[in-house]
């Protein structure tokens, strides 16, 4: 089984769900009830979709834990949908993959690692054109870096000599490609031949 979060939102790591389904995985999308503002989630790439009551929050650390160092976060510090991802990701045999990711992915993965989970992180840039178009639409400064907050967080930690037990960086054979590496990653980390359970964290590709 492969579980994605956020699931059924139609963007980012959801692209991995169809690939996983074609590989024989049962696919389950986990998403915040904030999605309901845009209508009930529906995506044929998912066999099931779970909408988590989160008071409209997209996830990440709770407001009173927002200033906490990410390396100290645990499941109880997270908003409901992110707490659900931590609980799922710490089940026996679960394997967690973060294919890129922003602040929420960073917080979730640190909470996962601090709760006994194992995370395989793949550095992945956000879509350049979409990021520039979004910034222009919102009147914000145009971005010049596209690595995502999670990559920047781990890179800064490495330069400071810090390590994060439970989080390992996975290099793909074809960095910079779009959909193909997701299937490669699922096979590499999850062990398709053994039918291992897997979970894809928030991606920004």
30 within domain boundaries: yes
Domain range spanning residue 18? 2-199
69 within domain boundaries: yes
205 within domain boundaries: no
204 within domain boundaries: no
Using DSSP's 3-state secondary structure scheme, residue 105 falls into helix
24: CATH: 3.40.50
CA terminus-to-terminus distance, the chain: 22
14 within domain boundaries: yes
Rounded to whole angstroms, the Cα distance separating 157 from 153 reads 6
115 within domain boundaries: yes
Q: Is the backbone of residue 64 left (phi > 0), alpha (psi -120 to 50) or beta? A: alpha
**Beta-strand (E) ranges in 23-180?**
27-32, 48-52, 95-99, 119-122, 167-169
| pLDDT value at residue 176 | 46
Into how many domains does the chain fold?
1
Q: How many CB atoms are located within 10 Å of the residue 54 CB?
A: 19
Rounded to whole angstroms, the Cα distance separating 15 from 185 reads 13
9 within domain boundaries: yes
Residues with Cβ within 8 Å of 181's Cβ and at least 6 positions away in sequence, in order, are 99, 122, 172, 173, 174, 175
43 within domain boundaries: yes
Put simply, whether the predicted model's pTM sits higher than 0.85 gets the answer no
| pLDDT value at residue 34 | 85
Mean pLDDT per 10-residue section of the chain, whose length is 205 residues: 63 66 82 81 81 86 89 91 89 81 87 90 80 90 84 82 81 49 60 45 41
**Listed residue (58, 65, 16) closest to 35, CA to CA:** 58
| pLDDT value at residue 180 | 47
């Amino acid at each position: 089984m492969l579980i994605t979060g956020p699931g059924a939102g139609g963007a980012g790591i959801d692209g991995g769900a169809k690939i996983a389904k074609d590989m024989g995985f049962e696919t389950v999308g986990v998403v915040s009830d904030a999605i309901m503002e845009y209508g009930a989630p529906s995506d044929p790439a998912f066999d099931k979709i779970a909408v988590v009551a989160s008071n409209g929050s997209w996830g990440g650390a709770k407001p009173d834990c927002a200033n906490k160092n990410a390396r100290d976060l645990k499941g109880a510090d997270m908003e409901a949908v992110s707490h659900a991802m931590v609980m799922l990701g710490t089940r026996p045999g679960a394997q967690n993959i973060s294919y890129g990711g922003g602040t929420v992915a960073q917080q979730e993965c640190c909470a996962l690692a601090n709760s006994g989970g194992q995370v395989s992180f793949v550095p992945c840039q956000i879509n350049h054109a979409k990021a520039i178009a979004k910034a222009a639409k919102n009147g914000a400064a145009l971005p010049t870096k596209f690595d995502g907050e999670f990559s920047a967080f781990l890179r800064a930690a490495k330069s400071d000599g810090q390590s994060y037990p439970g989080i390992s960086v996975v290099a793909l054979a074809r960095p910079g490609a779009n959909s193909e590496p997701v299937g490669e990653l699922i096979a590499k980390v999850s062990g398709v031949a053994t039918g291992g359970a897997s979970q894809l964290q928030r991606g920004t590709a």
